[in-house]
Amino acid sequence: DARVTQTPRDKVTEMGQEVTMRCQPILGHNTVFWYRQTMMQGLELLAYFRNRAPLDDSGMPKDRFSAEMPDATLATLKIQPSEPRDSAVYFCASGLGGTDTQYFGPGTRLTVL
């Protein structure tokens, strides 16, 4: 049963620390998305990649967030330095270009104290 995996599942850190979240898309999927979920804003897109190339990262605060795909099986989202307002659940999703369906990972719950 292919699924998207994310690590860590939970992360508690202090303000100013670096946070790295990882995502393994479903094998063969060429499109990867990062979404953030908060009570106030709901689900919002941070960035997405196709064939490892970034297509849109306009949803990310550029000064502190960065997203990369070192290879086709790994996507990373990094926050440096982290702030309390970054506390949220971060979801990764993957899909195939040419279709609309996205498959979501279980999320990383980030708490910044």
Partner 1 sequence: AQSVTQLDSHVSVSEGTPVLLRCNYSSSYSPSLFWYVQHPNKGLQLLLKYTSAATLVKGINGFEAEFKKSETSFHLTKPSAHMSDAAEYFCVVSGLHSGNTPLVFGKGTRLSVIA
| Binding site residues, partner 1, CB under 8 A | 4, 31, 33, 42-45, 48, 50, 56, 91, 93, 95-107, 109
Q: How far apart are CA 60 and CA 62, in angstroms?
A: 6
Phi, psi of 2 (to 5 degrees): -70, 135
Q: Which is nearer to partner 1, 14 or 44 (CB)?
A: 44
Q: How far is the CB of 16 from partner 1 (least distance, A)?
A: 27
Which pairs count as long-range contacts for 42-48, CB under 8 Å and 24+ apart, including other chains?
A: 43/91, 46/77, 46/90, 47/77
Q: Which is nearer to partner 1, 33 or 86 (CB)?
A: 33
Q: Which is nearer to partner 1, 42 or 70 (CB)?
A: 42
